[in-house]
Structures are given as C-alpha cells and as structure tokens.
Structure 1
Amino acid sequence: MGRLVVAAAVAVWAFPIAALVNSVVPEPYMDEIFHISQAQQYCRGDFWTWDPMITTPPGLYYVSLAYIASFFPVAWMFRVAKTFDVLCSTAALRSTNVILAMVCAVLIHDLLLCIRPGIGERKATAYAILVALYPVHWFFTFLYYTDVASLAAVLAVYLFCLKKQFWISTMFGVFSILFRQTNVIWIIFFAANGAITYVKDLYPKDNASHENSEPIHQSKKASARDNKTSVQSLRRRRINSPINKVIVCESANPYNSLTEEVCDISLKLWNSKCEILIAFAPFVVVMAAFVAFIIWNGGIVLGAKEAHVVSPHFAQFLYFGLVSAAALLPWHFTPNRVLDLFHLSGKNKTCGSLAVLMGLGLSFVAVHFFSIAHPYLLADNRHYTFYIWRKVIQVNWMMKYMLIPLYVYSWLSIINILGKSQTRIWVLSFVLSVALVLVPAPLVEFRYYTIPFVILVLHSPSIGNGKLLAMGSLYAAVDLSTLVMFLFRPFRWEHEPGTQRFMW
C-alpha cells in the first residue's frame, strides 16, 4: 500500500507540472539540446552518430526508446503516428524522467523499510515523498537529463544488494554506469559493505561475543537495582530504558576504535576470500569491464574531454557537506544539535580539539589551493551555482574563508549522525566514496550531490512528524519558486569577449 501511495503522490504533482513546463518551454533547455537531439537520432534508427559534447553513455536514450516503443503500437493503430520517430518529441522524452521519478520514490520507500525495519510504513512513505520533493532532484524530473535515471539505477543496485540478490544488483549496476560513469564508485561502495555484512554472517559467534559483552554488564547493574522485580517487568523496563538505547548504539558499533574494526574485518575478509569472491563474482566482472573501458577510452569521460579534465577539486567535497546539511536542516542546524556536538567534543577535549583543528586546517588548504572556477560556471547564469559563486563565495576575498567553519561543522555533524547507526568503517567508506565522486569534478554542480544526499537521508535518524512536515513544506516552497523563475523569466544572450552568457 505504501508503494502505491508514494507513486500516486509523485504522479499528482509531476504530470501537471510536466505539462506546464512543456507548454511554456517546449524547446530543449540547457544541456537538453544535446541529449534530446541524440535521443532523436536513436529514434530514427541512427545508432552510429554521436554528439561529441555528450560526456555520459547512452543509457538514458535506450530507456527512452523502450518507453516510447510501448506507446507506438497504439499510436500507429489509431493513426496518431505513422512512424516511430514522430513520437520522440521533447515532451515525450522528458516524460521518461517523470516515470523514473515515481520509480525513485518507490525504491526509497523500500530501502527505508529494508535499512530501518522499525521505521514503519507511514514514516517510510513520508520520507520517500520528502526526498521526491528535494529541490535539485525535483527540478530535473521535468527535464531530459541523466540524473533521475541515474539515481533510480543506483537505488536499485543498493536495494537488491541489501537483499543479497547480487546478480540482479549487478545488472542494475551496469545500467547505472550507462547513465553516468561515476556510479561505479557507488557500486563498489555497496559491494564492499555488502561483503562486510556477508563475512559477519559467516562469523556469528564473534559478532555475538562483541555484542553480548556490554548487555551482560548492563544487566547486572539493572538486576542490582531492583532484585524484587519480576523477570517480565524487568525485560519491559530494559526495552524502554535509556540503558537499552546505549546498548543498541554500542551493539551497532562493538569495536573500540576504527583501527580495531578495520583490522578485524580485514582479517575476516582475507580468511573468507574464496566465499566472498564466489558470492560477489558479478561485481568483480563489472569492475574488470569498467577498467577495460577506461583503458580503451583513454579516460572516464566520453565527449568534451577538454572541458571535463580530472582535477583536484577538494573544495567540492566541502560544498557537498554544507549543501546537504542545510538541506537536512532539522538534523544538523538546531540548537540541540550544536549542543550535542559541543558536549561530545567536551568528553574528550584532546581528540575533539585535534579533530576540529585538523578539519579547519585541511579545509583552509582545500579552499585556498583547490577551489576551481570552471568556465561553464562563470559563463552560464541559468544555473543557481552561477549566482552562489558570484554573490556568496566570491562576493569578497574573505568570504570563502569565512565559510570554512560551516563546512567543518556540517561534515562533523554528518559523520556524527551516521556514526550513531552505522559502523565506523561504513562511515569511512561513505566519506571516501563522496570524495572519489566529487573531488575529480572541476564543475560545481548540485546535481552531482543527489545520490550521496539520498544515501545520507536513508541512513539519518528519524525525526518527528512536525519537523518532517516542515521540511516538506520548505522543499515545496523552494520547488514552486524555482518553477516560477524558470517559466516566467525568459533568458537572453549577452556576448562578452571569449564568453557567451545567458542573462535575464
């Protein structure tokens, strides 16, 4: 039932707004001029012509062909279209992403129930609708870009990996790479953590000894407090008491340090290497094929290689932390959250101070030496990042340094929240995956943040219904304002020496 509610909720706003967008902006917009023309080439049966400006594989075009082909027999029967390519209009191609946005919402719903079984059907439905309203994802639902399809494929990889259906997960992994090459990082992330979970299941006694050591100690304290209480009532108290909450958190992360956790898991992986290789053979095949593709292609980018050169853009990593934390306001930017982080650092002042100082120092180096202004960022003001760069980051020479404490706070808050429900090695692998996806990208583009943002939402703790409703209302307000600006503020060209800028 939850799936139907989620799909229906997305459809209620997606189809009318898609119709409005197509009526006001019927022609290809921004990078659509490349994607739509390429898809229409495929619709005409020309699979050999390739636009050199397109940097991603043709996965989206194949999906659109299959989607539109499902309507062709009916259209031909009623003489609506005599040839297949007539149906490949801009509006029809855009509707591919509307359908895929519904698929994304359903996958998020299922993933939440799989990752956090206790969340409940209603809460999972509310969260899925909230993510569907996430402004960056929401906006590109109505345009013909690869982002929505890429997210759908990656979420399917994750869902089937969690269900231990590795062959199906790998199949969707291949599809995800056909939408965007950097998705290979998320395939590795899911496979690696899947292998860790798999090897833990092979050593149930070791896991039990880790997890039971703390509860035994706590149960002695509880029984000493009140030895006259019956066994049944004592169990009830333990379930609802703060002591049990501590046990749950510590049982999820039974190791004393990251080094101990890495060493223990590495040893288990090595001892079970044959079983792991057999179980995860599909992922190994995909990795080998991707390496072969990079060698054959001479790099990860297909077209426009000179404009997408791999660069050490470490500031991009910091931008993601701030943007994601701001988009999850009730989780990260509240007085209680600030006090929690302050008390946490106060428990171990030496380690806490060192972590903050190291974060500030590394962030300063990233901002000062590895902050890149891509020519596309400076030339096209149809992107919000154009204004954020000019009006915020570059408003004066000090501003980019003044934002450093916010970057550090955002990442510390994200890591701390993830650490409450995930193991240290999971958090470390997530942070490294985000860095591997974003740091090599020279262009600041919020679309690149969508997949790690959704993974972050999936693993963040639940919040109250009031805050959830407030977040949904905020997202909806941003979505509507973005739509109004997009539809009713036409652009014109402004020519400058060496550049072409869209101006309002």
Structure 2
Amino acid sequence: MSLSKPRDIGGRSSSSPTKNAFQGAMSILLFGTQMEWLRRVQTTLPEPYLDEFFHMPQADTFWQGNWTKWNDKITTPPGLYIWSVFVSKIFSLGSHSEMLTPYQLRITSMITLYFLTLSCSFWMRFGCKFSRSGVRLPQLLAIHTFPPLFFFSGLYYTDVLSAFTVICTYALWQAGLQRKGRAKYVVQLLHFMCGLLALGARQTNIFWVAVFTGGLQAVHTVKNQTRVHDPPVADAYFEDFPITIISLVTSAFNALPEMLLDLWPHFGLLASFTAFVVWNGGVVLGDKTNHVASIHLPQMLYLWPFLMFFSWPAVLPQLANPLLLQRTPRLWLIGLVVTSMLAVVHLNTIVHPFLLADNRHYTFYVFKILRLAPWKWYAAVPVYAACAWLSVQALGSKSGFSGGPGVKGSRGRRPSTSSGRGDSIRVEADTNRISFFMVWLLSTALSLITAPLVEPRYFIVPWLMWRLHLPDSEDVLSQDATAASGASNRVRRLLKSFAKQSVWIEIAWYMLINLITCRLFLYHGFEWQQEPDQVQRFMW
C-alpha cells in the first residue's frame, strides 16, 4: 500500500488551467447565489421567523452587554449568541447600533458557513497523510451547497455554527496526530477549547467532539503499539466486525498508559459535559417538558435514506464499478438486517406530537404518507436496507475489493486484514477501515436515538462526517481495469462517464434542491385558520 501524493486545493497537481478557471467561476457563481438567497430572505422576511423569535432577542440581549438575562424557552446553550456578538464586532456588522437587526444576525450564519467550509479544508489538509486525497475545491463546494446547510445560512439558527465547531474540533484532533512533544499538547489544548465551543453550540455535540474523536484516537494509539484486526470496509466480511472489536479491546490493555495520555482532551470534555448536566438538572436548557430524551431507534433507519437522497451522485463511482456486484450481502445477512429493522419499526416507532402538528416542515408530509396505512411503515424497510448497504459501500476505496461486508464470496486473494504497529499512518492512507465505520456509527446512533423528534437538521453532522470520508471518484474508478464491450458494458461506460463528474452532478443536484426549497419558503406561504394574519412557510 503506497501513499498518493497529496493534492492541493482545486487539485492543482493534476488540474488544467481550464479546469481551475471553471472551478473558480463556479465558486463565484455559488457565492453570488448565496448572497442572493440572503438578500431575498431579508426582503421577504424583515422580521424574525419561527425559532428566530427566540434566538434574535437573546442575541440582542448579549449585544447590549446583559450577559445574565436568559429566555427560559431556549433549549440550547448560549454559544450562538456569544459567537454572533464576536462576529458582529470583528466584521463591524453592528457598527455602533444598540440592537442587531435580523439581517445583521442572519449574515453571521452565512459567514459561519464559510468558516465551516474553511474548517473542512483545514481537516483535509492536515489529513493528507491519512486520507485518500488532499484538499479539493469541488468537494468543498459540495459541502458548502448541502441543502440544509445552505438553507439555514440565510436564517438565524444554531445548525451552521454547530457543524462548524464540530468539524473545527475534528480538524484540530487530526492535526494533533502529526505533532509530538510540546506542540502535540498545545494542539490538544486547542482541541479541548474548541470542543467546549462545540458544546456551547449544541449539547449533542458531545458525541462528536468527545466520543467520535476519542474513539478514533483510541484506535490510533492502539495501532501504534500493536497489530490489530481491522480490515478495510470494502474488504470486510460480516464476521470481521465483531473480530475487530475484540481485537481492539484486547489490544487496548497493552496501550492503556499511552491511551490515557492521548485521551485527556476527550475525558476533559466528558467531565465538563457531566458537570453541566448536574448543574442544569438535565441535558436540555429551558423548556424541558417538550424535549424529553427517549430511545428512538428508528432514527438510525431514517439516516440511510437521508444520506442517499442527498448524496446519490457521490455513490455513482461505486455503482459504475462492476466489482460492486461482487460485494452483494449474503442472504442470511440480508434476512438478519431486514428482520432487525422490522422489529425496530414495530416496537419503537415514535411520532412526536410536534411533527404531526406542524405542516411547515417536510418531515410532516413524509410521515403523513407513512401513516396513511400501517403496512407502509414496514414496506419502507427494504428501502432502509438498500440505502444502508449503498452508504456503507460508498466508504470503500482503493483496496482490492476482494469482498465486502457480508459478501457472498470473493475473487482472488483477500488482502491482509491486519494493521497497526509500524504502519499506523499508512493504513489510513487510502481506505476506510472497520474501526472508523464503527466509531462513526456509534457516534451517530448516540446523537440521534435520544431525540424523539425527526428533523433533517439532526442529520447534518453525521452526513458531514460520512461525506468527508468518501473516497475520491478517481480512486474508485481506477480499480476497474476490465475491458468494456457489448450493450451492457456500453451502459456501464456511460455510467462511468457520469461517475467521473459525480461531484459536479452532486453540486447541481444540491442547487436544484436549494432552488425548490428556497422558492417554496419565500413565495409559496400559506395561512393557518387559527392565525389568519400570519404567513407560514415551508422549511427543513
């Protein structure tokens, strides 16, 4: 396994001037589109809308220097308002005004989205030695135009800031892996401080800044000490998953002293979060009665269609690769997964009263369709299973693809499934391994299943982590060395030509969704009978 040469922003190591000019033009176009979205929101809604009625007055309260006054209806920590005051002063958005206008507060969301994109670039740059490709502008543009992020960049909500602080913390953790001695502890301290900022934006970020990065750090430390069973996701059999867990747990005892030293930022964040919960009397601030944590396992079923609905273009390189058919799950595994999903649907489906009462959100209409007949809840299970399989397969990268998670069989010799001492950096260079997938899955589950309400916003960070780790399309397509002939192969050649442009298709798909959802929000409002003078608007 060899490391590929890191690529610079925009792929300068392999890009032509024409391609770079095209990417630059697209960046300018998307910037103009976002500014137009912000302008039209302000023109159509000069006053706060929905949750902004809570967020904006609280930000104004902080802007005026009253740091002790708090609205009990707000359920999230004050990170958004502190950040808004900071950004407004740095960029002189508020000048010397006594109050911040809705436009001034909304523009902080747009600025934060650019900070998020920059933090993704920062992670990619520091992850060049570990990830399959370096910093690439098209991937950053895809993240920047992701519909829920793009939409809320024009409103004053916590979602963009929450994602930014999580990715920034993740990037600092990644940077710490490449440091030694005093520099390492300085970066770890920055990781801890940024993690606190993430917790100040949203409580559930604890699962990403402490559990997610902590799990990856533990795996990294163990691999530095000994060899473990940790095959690439694309080459893994179902049996490899429990074997990997056992291998990592048993090997962890040998690396316990080093692990404790490496995990101090994560333990510090967990301790800080625990102290907050004890002080607050619970996780939720403010209105606790309507935000009671519960076990809601179907959230993990809704995750997979969410990933595939938005990111199906990113899976085109895998679909264009004929080796995907070699990784079809075995029948017994399909039966096990489908049966488990059916049980979750039957025993734990929760429909929150807020979801049924608010027809402004798209999830209302999705669940309305499902509730038309009981059988539809169960009929959706094959869709969940298929989307889950594609989402996992999408993480496959430059390994030999001799098998797959629960595959029927494999062709050729299966590559080595061990990784660790002596190659702890190399093993992460061009593939996603089981350890990463399981840490990501655990963190996603912890952040989702405690939420009884289903909202697309809750899936933003899981999507971001998944999308950042998708292999480059060139890496996936380069595995296909078969000669293409015949009608079926002509179709595959056509699919492959689309797959080569998958990231631009993804951006176009996102912008189409943004066009529809933003237009619906701005120009297709409606009224409730109980509030005849208020315009209600469709939104995520």
Same fold (TM over 0.5): yes
Matches within 5 A, 1:151-170: 151-164=163-176, 165-170=187-192
Which range moved further: 449-458 or 105-114? 105-114
Sort the Cα spacing of 1:306 and 1:480 in 2 relative to 1 into closer, same or farther, 3 A.
Answer: same
Contact 1:253 1:422 in 2 (8 A): no
Of the candidates 446, 450, 464, which is equivalent to residue 454 of structure 1?
464
Query: Match of 1:225?
Result: none
Aligned residues with identical type, % of pairs: 27
Query: Match of 1:326?
Result: 309
Please state how far the C-alpha of 1:162 moved relative to its aligned partner. Answer: 0.9
SS in 1 for 2:67: coil
Q: Which has the higher helix share?
A: 1
Root mean square deviation, CA, Å: 3.1
The AA in structure 2 aligned to 1:101 is L
Give the TM-score taking structure 2 as reference length: 0.75
Query: Match of 1:173?
Result: 195
Please state how far the C-alpha of 1:375 moved relative to its aligned partner. Answer: 1.6
Which range moved further: 410-419 or 179-188? 410-419
Counterpart check, 1:469 vs 2:491:
no
Of the candidates 107, 113, 137, which is equivalent to residue 125 of structure 1?
137
**Using the alignment, how far apart are the partners of 1:170 and 1:288 within structure 2?**
11
Of the candidates 11, 18, 21, which is equivalent to residue 41 of structure 2?
21
**Using the alignment, how far apart are the partners of 2:93 and 2:439 within structure 1?**
47
The AA in structure 2 aligned to 1:296 is W
Matches within 5 A, 1:476-495: 476-495=511-530
Alignment length (residue pairs)? 446
Of the candidates 295, 300, 304, which is equivalent to residue 283 of structure 2?
300
Sort the Cα spacing of 1:423 and 1:97 in 2 relative to 1 into closer, same or farther, 3 A.
Answer: same
Please state how far the C-alpha of 1:417 moved relative to its aligned partner. Answer: 3.2
**Using the alignment, how far apart are the partners of 1:251 and 1:331 within structure 2?**
16
Of the candidates 2, 9, 21, which is equivalent to residue 2 of structure 1?
9
Query: Match of 1:283?
Result: 266
**Using the alignment, how far apart are the partners of 1:382 and 1:133 within structure 2?**
22
Contact 2:448 2:458 in 1 (8 A): yes
**Using the alignment, how far apart are the partners of 1:170 and 1:103 within structure 2?**
19
Contact 2:225 2:254 in 1 (8 A): no
Counterpart check, 1:405 vs 2:382:
yes
Which range moved further: 369-378 or 90-99? 369-378
The AA in structure 2 aligned to 1:189 is F
Contact 1:494 1:501 in 2 (8 A): no
Matches within 5 A, 1:103-122: 103-115=115-127
Query: Match of 1:232?
Result: none
Give the TM-score taking structure 1 as reference length: 0.80
Sort the Cα spacing of 1:10 and 1:54 in 2 relative to 1 into closer, same or farther, 3 A.
Answer: farther
**Using the alignment, how far apart are the partners of 1:397 and 1:470 within structure 2?**
36
Query: Match of 1:57?
Result: 77
1:292-348 C-alpha deviation (Å, 9 max, x unpaired): 2212222211122111111221111111111112211134479947976653236xx
Please state how far the C-alpha of 1:24 moved relative to its aligned partner. Answer: 1.1
Contact 2:236 2:434 in 1 (8 A): yes
Sort the Cα spacing of 1:160 and 1:14 in 2 relative to 1 into closer, same or farther, 3 A.
Answer: same
Please state how far the C-alpha of 1:130 moved relative to its aligned partner. Answer: 0.8
Please state how far the C-alpha of 1:189 moved relative to its aligned partner. Answer: 0.8
Query: Match of 1:240?
Result: none
Please state how far the C-alpha of 1:33 moved relative to its aligned partner. Answer: 0.8
Query: Match of 2:213?
Result: 190
Please state how far the C-alpha of 1:455 moved relative to its aligned partner. Answer: 0.7
Matches within 5 A, 1:372-383: 372-383=350-361
Sort the Cα spacing of 1:266 and 1:74 in 2 relative to 1 into closer, same or farther, 3 A.
Answer: closer
Which range moved further: 26-35 or 413-422? 413-422
Please state how far the C-alpha of 1:252 moved relative to its aligned partner. Answer: 9.2
Sort the Cα spacing of 1:413 and 1:268 in 2 relative to 1 into closer, same or farther, 3 A.
Answer: same
Which range moved further: 140-149 or 187-196? 187-196
Please state how far the C-alpha of 1:71 moved relative to its aligned partner. Answer: 4.8
Contact 1:314 1:439 in 2 (8 A): yes
Query: Match of 1:215?
Result: none
Sort the Cα spacing of 1:73 and 1:445 in 2 relative to 1 into closer, same or farther, 3 A.
Answer: closer
Query: Match of 1:270?
Result: 253
Contact 1:326 1:333 in 2 (8 A): no
Contact 1:381 1:387 in 2 (8 A): yes
Please state how far the C-alpha of 1:47 moved relative to its aligned partner. Answer: 2.1
SS in 2 for 1:2: coil
**Using the alignment, how far apart are the partners of 1:323 and 1:18 within structure 2?**
25
Which range moved further: 291-300 or 262-271? 262-271
SS in 2 for 1:418: coil
Contact 2:318 2:324 in 1 (8 A): no
Contact 1:10 1:101 in 2 (8 A): no
The AA in structure 1 aligned to 2:509 is L
Of the candidates 424, 428, 451, which is equivalent to residue 441 of structure 1?
451
Which runs of no fewer than 5 residues in structure 2 stay unpaired? 1-7, 11-22, 177-186, 398-430, 474-498
**Using the alignment, how far apart are the partners of 2:233 and 2:439 within structure 1?**
19
Of the candidates 347, 351, 371, which is equivalent to residue 394 of structure 1?
371
Query: Match of 1:223?
Result: none
Which runs of no fewer than 5 residues in structure 1 stay unpaired? 212-247, 347-351
Of the candidates 424, 429, 442, which is equivalent to residue 432 of structure 1?
442
Contact 2:298 2:349 in 1 (8 A): yes
Sort the Cα spacing of 1:302 and 1:449 in 2 relative to 1 into closer, same or farther, 3 A.
Answer: same
Sort the Cα spacing of 1:41 and 1:361 in 2 relative to 1 into closer, same or farther, 3 A.
Answer: same
Counterpart check, 1:370 vs 2:348:
yes
Contact 2:214 2:266 in 1 (8 A): yes
SS in 1 for 2:47: coil
Please state how far the C-alpha of 1:399 moved relative to its aligned partner. Answer: 1.7
Structure with larger Rg: 1
Sort the Cα spacing of 1:446 and 1:381 in 2 relative to 1 into closer, same or farther, 3 A.
Answer: same
Matches within 5 A, 1:232-247: none
Contact 2:199 2:205 in 1 (8 A): yes
1:110-152 C-alpha deviation (Å, 9 max, x unpaired): 333444567656x721011011111111101111111000100
1:256-297 C-alpha deviation (Å, 9 max, x unpaired): 833443333223322222222223212211111211221222
Query: Match of 1:354?
Result: 332
Query: Match of 1:214?
Result: none
Contact 2:524 2:537 in 1 (8 A): no
**Using the alignment, how far apart are the partners of 2:323 and 2:288 within structure 1?**
45
The AA in structure 1 aligned to 2:205 is N
Contact 1:113 1:120 in 2 (8 A): no
SS in 2 for 1:142: coil
**Using the alignment, how far apart are the partners of 1:374 and 1:157 within structure 2?**
32
Which range moved further: 95-104 or 192-201? 192-201
Of the candidates 386, 391, 413, which is equivalent to residue 414 of structure 1?
391
Sort the Cα spacing of 1:8 and 1:173 in 2 relative to 1 into closer, same or farther, 3 A.
Answer: farther
Matches within 5 A, 1:204-219: 206=227
